[in-house]
Amino acid sequence: MNRMLAERILAASGRKKPSLVLKNTRMVNVFTSELEDGDIAIEGGYIVGIGSYEGETEIDLGGKVVCPGLIDGHIHLESSMLSPEEFAKTVVPHGTLAVITDPHEIANVAGTEGIRFMMERSENLDLDVYFMLPSCVPAAKLDESGAVLTADDLAPFYREERVLGLAELMDFPGTIQADPDIMEKIVSAGDHRRIIDGHGPFLSGRQLNAYITAGVRSDHECSIIEEAVEKIKRGQWVMIREGTAARNLKALLPLFEEPYYHRCMLVTDDRHPGELVRLGHMDYIVRKAIKLGADPVRAVIMASYHATRYFGLNEVGAIAPGYQANLIVVSDLTEFTVSKVYRKGILTAEDGKMLETSRAGIKTDSPIPDIVGNSFQLKEIVPEDLVMKEEGDTIRVLCLTPGELTTKERLVPWTKKMREDPDTLAAMDIVKMAVLERHKNTGHIGLGFLGGYGLKWGAVATSIAHDSHNLIIAGTNDRDMVLAGNTVRNNRGGIAVVADGVVLSELALPIAGLMSPESAMQVDERMEQLKIQAKQLGIGKEIDPFMTLAFASLPVIPMLRLNTCGLIDVQNQKVVETIFFSTS
């Protein structure tokens, strides 16, 4: 180590030629928020000098812009539906060289074995994968997952160098009420000197004060500018999310201005493989922000350096002496097309493709634990499972909000025609929804109505149902719902679209019911076919038919959710006593 450091110092001072010099660059200076002209000298995987250098190898970039490698400050890798190796292979060519992942999706299925599986599969890649430990498994007390993780279960993971802290405290009501179990996790994170991420949609005033007092230092759930500004003023970092299901970038664009951008970073949270392949990852968010009018340099800083400041990653995120040479080259700051990607000074990807020297997609030999590979424990579904008890003349409908994760309640008169003719409900943009427990075969089933989904006939089923990932089915008739659900069950997880008693399209996700062992291109092709079939069944262009449905059961985002416990009033964390009720 001393010898390597000495070599870097000698190269920096000019007493030896650096092994690589990128000549004639325009580099983003994250410290002064400006573009700087000069050469970048690299030795032993680190930047050793900025200015004018001669190297053993020189590459003239002809005035192209060099940026720090991009960093996603909050993502769930499992939500890409790709293995960690395939995810890395997909995003590195887009300039992403580090991600901070919260493996709570697989932890809700397989507990600590799921976390270990993700850590083993993400080692030694050309993507630095850091971890935040799942804080809420299950996401809330009114949820039913495959595992329950306590503070004692999480504590051993803090010994891992790549573990940076405690992930999003989704049970914000429990946090505000000083729930003893949550307090133990917060204190444990503090004892290990780790940071705590937040998840507090619409928290304000004293509730927000209480949440931050608990030690929560960030939030990625802001959907309106007033909420984000209040959280910044109270000391939180705001993660501006632009993913597949939730897209908050446009609404939060004022945060790219002074004084707010200093406390903001860009994240995806969840991103499907098709968008990763065709549109990009963090580069897409930067590109979109610039097109919306954001300052390009600030956008780059918010997509790289700010994550390192927040998470304490001191050797990445900047172009300066002593920092790792994790660099991306773009032609300009308008189109922001990534042409070259360097990791530790080695050209890893070029023109959108991984190079042969890359390790980004190397398969590991670690076995798949049985609890991960055979996670679907559910008896065959029969029509009787979906029969609803009808008592009352009015129904509560869980209504989706296009482009957002929040939902609303809609009260609808329950007429004789609606009872006898399911097409009547579909014409009102209301379908039946079922959530079936699939981890331990408890037989628990939540039944209700879903509005705003757009489905006019047939059924959609998925085992990606945040965060407990039970089996969720939406449909216009019971026969198709049963077939869709059993198709997913027989595939050990996945997605299915069904109509008129026929499986139109399906995708198997046998890794924890969340991920595929196939390539990103293969998964994308199947997903595109699924989306085409779902759209043909009436689901509108403004809704992602699967990611949107996946969040309909998450009982930590207002207002209503449906899971195996029943219809949940999120704000009050209680089960709504009945879906059918009398107004008389």
Q: Do you find a cis peptide bond into 467, omega within 30 degrees of 0?
A: yes
| Per-residue confidence (pLDDT) for residue 364, from 0 to 100 | 61
Residue 306: closest CA among 259, 253, 243, 264:
264
Q: 309 CB contacts (<8 Å, ≥6 apart)?
A: 317
Q: H-helix or E-strand containing 90?
A: helix 84-91
pLDDT-derived band at 187, boundaries 50, 70, 90: very high
Looking at residue 358, its pLDDT comes to 62
> Minimal CA–CA distance to 100: which of 126, 125, 133?
133
pLDDT of residue 547: 82
Which of these ranges, 127-136, 215-224, 303-312, 413-422, has the smallest mean pLDDT? 413-422
Taking the CA atoms of the chain, what radius of gyration do you get in angstroms? 24
Tell me what pLDDT residue 442 has: 95
pLDDT over 90 (residue 476): yes
Whole-angstrom Cα distance, residue 171 to residue 185?
12
Look at 244 and 118; give whichever has higher pLDDT.
118
Q: Is 18 helix (H, G, I), strand (E, B) or coil?
A: coil
Write down the pLDDT at residue 356: 78
Residue type for 108, please? N
Q: Which residues contact 370 (CB under 8 A, 6 or more apart)?
A: none
User: Bridge partners of 462?
Assistant: 472, 495
Report in angstroms the alpha-carbon separations of 197 from 73, 135, 214, 499. 10, 9, 11, 42
Which amino acid type is present at position 493? G
What's the average model confidence in pLDDT over 230-241?
98
Where are any strands of DSSP class E within 4-63?
A: 20-29, 34-43, 46-51, 57-60
First to last CA, the chain: 79
3-class SS of residue 185: helix
Q: What pLDDT, in 10s, does the model give residues 245-304?
A: 788 999 999 999 999 999 999 999 999 898 999 999 999 999 999 999 999 999 999 999
DSSP 250: T
Whether residue 300 contacts residue 286, with contact meaning beta carbons closer than 8 Å, is answered with: yes
With 70 as the cut, is the pLDDT of residue 559 above it? Answer: yes
Q: Is the pLDDT of residue 418 over 90?
A: no
Whether the Cβ atoms of residue 234 and residue 209 lie closer than 8 Å to each other: yes
Q: Which of 390, 360, 327 is nearest to 127 (CA)?
A: 360
The most distant pair of C-alpha atoms in the chain lies apart, rounded to whole Å, by 89
What is the helix (H) or strand (E) element at residue 521, kind and residue range?
A: helix 520-536
> Tokens representing 321?
């002496």
Residue 406 has pLDDT above 90, yes or no: no
User: Helix 84-91 vs helix 520-536: angle between axes, to the nearest 10 degrees?
Assistant: 90
500 DSSP 8-state letter: T
Closest to 244 (Cα-Cα) out of 217, 278, 199, 291: 278
**DSSP-assigned states of every residue in 92-146:** GGGTEEEEEE-THHHHHHHHHHHHHHHHHHTTTSSSEEEEEE-S-SSSSSS---S
Cα 194 to Cα 157, 164, 487, 488, distances in angstroms: 12, 6, 42, 39
DSSP 155: G
Domains parsed from the chain with CATH numbers: 67-352 (3.20.20.140), 373-581 (no CATH)
List the strands of the sheet with 237-241, edge to edge: 218-219, 237-241, 264-267
Band the pLDDT of 405: cuts 50, 70, 90: confident
Structure confidence at residue 403 (pLDDT): 67
**Distance between CA atoms of 550 and 78, rounded to whole angstroms?**
13
- pLDDT at residue 366 greater than cutoff 80: no
The overall average pLDDT reported for the chain is 94
User: What pTM, to 2 d.p., does this model score?
Assistant: 0.91
Rounded distance between C-alpha atoms, residue 286 and residue 300, angstroms: 7
| DSSP class per residue in 270-333 | S--HHHHHHT-SHHHHHHHHHHTT--HHHHHHHTTHHHHHHHT-TTSSS-STTSB--EEEES-T
Four-residue CA torsion sign, 116, 121, 124, 129:
negative
- Which range of 89-98, 399-408, 550-559 scores highest in mean pLDDT? It is 89-98
Does the pLDDT at position 57 exceed 80? yes
Give the Cα-Cα-Cα angle 139, 165, 327 (nearest 5 degrees).
115
pLDDT value, residue 361: 59
Question: Which DSSP string do the residues of 204-234 spell out, in sequence order?
Answer: -HHHHHHHHHTT--EES---SHHHHHHHHHT
3-state secondary structure of 166: strand
Alpha-carbon gap, residue 301 to 315, rounded angstroms: 15
pLDDT in tens, 486-544: 999 999 999 999 999 999 999 999 999 999 999 999 999 999 999 999 999 999 888 88
At 277, list the tokens: 């392949």
